[in-house]
Structure 1
């Protein structure tokens, strides 16, 4: 699931800005951000007067990007990665590196499906905001109006759930959950089972008191969508979000099925701690916070849809983009983050990480997908390393340097 903040093994499954089980992307789905000192330095080209803050993607710039991507791959031991970068009038850079399958040596290619972890949150929150636009729910409605049994349910609002300010405990940070998932990664989880892992813990703080990336919030929002629409979340999102956005290779799975061709995914979020291929793990534990599957071509379309509010009214999109500080240099709105001007989300799920962001100032899109969620030096999301290395070259005034989150669980990231 998208960007995540991972902490101890029990919290490792936080989907964060990345969903990673152990993140479904369940934690900060802002993928663990890399401190500047740990990032890969890359040469910065001098933009031409006509290019503004974003350079023309010339062969010389492309070579700098190639070098930076390969350097991150070596540093973080990433098997395979695909990168897309573009801006109107500046050209397009799109390239894959490394392997999609370490056993066979099959190359990484842009057409491979991957699990996007916490980027699922952007789809679920879009569905919620569409219902707001239709007048069926209100952002300041308490969750208790729709779902019974939620601690502080009479005071936690839908806005606070979408903004990661509810104070509820992140289910993916529960040791019992982590054990259940890693010992039997094929097992399905129901939304209520996920909530039960959360609700056995006391609330962490009063509603809206602070930011805390929490997958529990998205499970509740998914249930609200189901209650109001009367249909399964995956069906509603497919019809009202995925199809209108023009996404042709994006799927909200209900089991472990994985469209072909897909990249194999490598994780150390396992019962043994050894690296395993997690491609066939059941993503139900991420559900509304981290279960979706997509491809590079759809994600580059989705980046602009989310950041510009294509599916929402301008007033509701303005509410979505109203960020509050989450980490130094990074703000979180409603299921979306803003890191130095780049708007979007990251995602992490065992075996995979993604980063899908848009820079309105230059109308630039950046997408990174990779087939591992193993942290660099035990604390830094590899997707953050790629994002930082790339933006140091093309947008030195807007470097994607997501800070390291302070809380987390298995990913389903930020």
Structure 2
């Protein structure tokens, strides 16, 4: 299904000001067996993994899904020379018990950052910008903007306060989840706070950084971010089912999403919440087929020059055990990529160069379990089985 993308994206941990109240409400669904539905076969042309590994994955994924109260799960795992595993389990709609399938679209949260930074690095390759340019050259009004570089924004070392951690932002968003935010409105929530550290001295995950990079892309190209992404990233990568929506539009089919990031802490259906609040940091939509393709493209730099890709992969410790961060990309346990979380949905898309393996996890809740993101629980459990020397871990703080 081809789309007509416009402009706006998402990312990160939504609301530090609102307590996340763990709940089991989302688990009140019919128990369904793991399903390799008819849509999966096109994404698993090389044949499945061996029977023992497949059985272990089926059981482990279902165990995590039920223990973490995840309504629906889609997992895609591709391991050249060993086979692949593409499965859906659980439900896409807790009211109707419609089963989860592998062909659905999902909001991908902070995985959007990999697309935005790829577009930025494309401009670097075209010699239209430089990574060490100050943000003040492109965007006015940034606190300490003459000292903050594009590189520091992409690697989360700007020191700019994350607008999504501002209490007023949390209240405004959760009071009206269908509200449309402009990039400048988002930044204003963060800019009213002092910078948290001097540029380049520490790591702090901040959506403010990526919203600024989205504005840089628009300023340099004279085009809406969604249009530039479509022409220079999505089309060259042959990603026909990935888009940055303008508002609440959501291609069919898609599962319903469930969150407890509400003013009351109650669990609600957030399927039609407006992702404009995350724009270049996390508002995109994709599906399993496209994310499978994208994982390798990002990790190997197919759309970039080798020199620019090397800059992207130069990761720096984050202070989070097991996690280092590069330019809009992380490395954990040897896996390279990003995760995403937006109210109602979580994803993981990573590539393991050591085995040329790809893992994609897609779920329709962001409600934490034991203080951990359910997508991380799944990715950790899956890699513990198939790549025990390369276990995915440490990415909880990025979302």
Q: Please, what TM-score do these two structures have when normalized by structure 1?
A: 0.86
2:289 counterpart SS class: helix
Residue of structure 1 equivalent to 2:193: 201
**1:8 and 2:1 equivalent?**
no
What residue in structure 1 maps to residue 315 of structure 2? 323
- How far 1:8 sits from its partner (Å)? 3.4
Superposed displacement of residue 340, structure 1: 1.1
Which digits, 9 at most, give the CA deviation of each residue in 1:299-328, with x for residues without a partner?
010000100001000000000000000122
Alignment-derived partner of residue 274 in structure 1: 266
Hey, what's the Cα distance between the residues in 1 that align with 2:171 and 2:14? Answer: 16
8 Å CA contact retained: 2:11, 2:283: no
> Does 1:365 pair with 2:358?
yes
1:245 equivalenced with 2:237 (yes/no) = yes
Give the secondary-structure state (helix, strand or coil) at the position aligned to 2:233.
Answer: helix
How far has the Cα of 1:266 moved from its partner? 0.2
Structure 2 partner of 1:214: 206
Distance 1:67-1:79 versus aligned 2 partners, 3 A rule = same
**Correspondence list, 1:381-392, <5 A:** 381-392=373-384
> Aligned to 2:128, which of 130, 133, 136?
136
Aligned-residue RMSD, C-alpha: 1.4
**Alpha-carbon separation, structure 2, partners of 1:313 and 1:2:** 27
> Is the partner of 2:336 in helix, strand or coil?
strand
- Output the CA distance in 1 between the equivalents of 2:327 and 2:218: 19
**Aligned runs of 1:292-311 on 2, under 5 Å?**
292-311=284-303
Q: Distance in 1 between matches of 2:394 and 2:49?
A: 24
Aligned twin of 1:224: 216
Q: CA deviation at 1:10?
A: 4.3
1:187 and 2:205 aligned? no
Aligned partner of 1:345 among 335, 338, 343: 338
With normalisation by structure 2, the TM-score equals 0.89
1 CA distance for matches of 2:160 and 2:114? 20
Match of 2:325 among 327, 332, 349: 332
Q: Deviations over 1:168-216 (max 9, x none)?
A: 0000000000001111000000000001000000000000111100000
1:15-414 equivalences under 5 Å are: 57-326=49-318, 327-377=320-370, 379-402=371-394, 404-405=396-397, 413-414=398-399
| 1: CA distance, partners of 2:349 / 2:94 | 25
Distance 2:109 2:49 in 1: 29
Structure 1: state its 5+ residue gaps.
Answer: 13-55, 406-412
Of structures 1 and 2, the one with the larger relative CO (CA 8 A, separation 6+) is 1
Q: Deviations over 1:376-401 (max 9, x none)?
A: 12x20101000000000011111001
